[in-house]
Structure 1
Amino acid sequence: MGRELQKSKNKSSIPKQRQKGPSKKKILQNPIIAKHWNQKETLSQNYRRLGLTARLNHATGGQEKTIALLGLNDAKSSRADIAADSTANALNIVSKAPQSIEVEELEVERDPETGAILRVIGQKETAPNPLNDPLNELEDDDDVEEWNGFAMVPEKREGEQVNPVIQQLEEAARNGARKAPRTQSQREAEWVEGLVSKYGDDYDRMARDRKLNPMQQTAADIKKRVKKWRASQA
């Protein structure tokens, strides 16, 4: 039975689907990006390494989940399979005892007769938190400064490393060379000269001439080209 199915597949007119190899796409338009391009990485991986983004919106079809992106194997996390800043880590109950206990000195008040500790002086009373609730220590304080917009957001964080590729791209965008204005080619100048020699300044007749104007340029477009041609002749 399998042999018969294989024969029918070979006779089918539907082309066989072949697995495509890795993309050889390389960004050559920008010399700065082309200099730091890694051919063994995908477009998204190259852009992420250079500190850029391949698209403004979120990626469709999912996103590559790496260990660094997921925040796994972090020493600050209570578990290796969850990120340190995740809700699962904040609500995780660690049952094992701490390996080291910090020694602190406190001032206490004792009973003069029995010597029993009555109270601890200078210690901040904390509410019991058996479930390690991260919101347990937060208090409703009316003196907290409210957010005043983007004026509170610093332009650059202290100690933040500057990406050299981003810096080079910003310098190139700030001091980039402007494009040279478009000039008429010799063929276009000859075409405009033929129209002017036959019709003068009658642009409507130039636009209706199917022999000299086979591309059916409008009268306004021809007028603009004639004006540029006369400026180059002066």
Structure 2
Amino acid sequence: MGKRPHARRVNRQPTQKNTRRLAKRTARKRPMTRDPMVAKHWDERLTVRQNYARLGLAHRVNGVSGGMERSREVEEAASDPEDERVRKATFADPLLDGSLEDPFEMARRQLQLTGEEDLDEETLKKRLGPGRAMIKRDDQGNIIKVVMGTQVDSDDEDTLLPQVKARSKLVEEMERQVAEHVPFQRFLSPGEIDWAKKLIAKHGDNYQAMFRDMKLNKLQRTVSQIRRVCEQYLASTQA
């Protein structure tokens, strides 16, 4: 009488083990972060979201979209939107007590503090950024103008971003580390030098014409990228 298929399989592999239990038993708990500066301030008893809130970091750049536990005050007063408790109630997590604002709300408040009404339109467009807009209204509430944000060049980022006070010791250490960092100086390659020579010889300082020149601009570099290469080449020749 033949053996059952399962028994034959066990006889052929008598050393077979339950890999799921073995993996669980031998698994090592990896650290949540490998950055030594963040690991020094990390609390293993808290969740990732709570640690980010305690350290003054944004857990999500796009803000909170759900999944947050609400306090009992919110549940009781949700039926009455005019209730003062709805505006004062916060998340049940004590570390997320409303002191951390949404990144977009912070940016909007910073725009107000810098006096966007006094800025010229081009600076305001760059400060708003792509995908954002500001509606200007008169005293009666009528829309008089809509300013659409534009892409910011990397050369203008440092001048457009407002200074914000550090929210924790970790952020202060990070800012100090960035301030002490020596900026990397990039040199042009021989191919870029030859390319810049041809562009300048043909178009001078007309970067829009360089951008539209499909023979020389085969890689479809942007106007800002072309300007950066040409200016770096001209600066190296004058030094």
TM-score range, shorter chain: 0.3 to 0.5
Higher relative contact order (CA 8 A, sep 6+): 2
Greater per-residue helix proportion: 2
User: Whose Rg is larger?
Assistant: 1
TM superposition score normalised by structure 1 = 0.33
TM superposition score normalised by structure 2 = 0.32
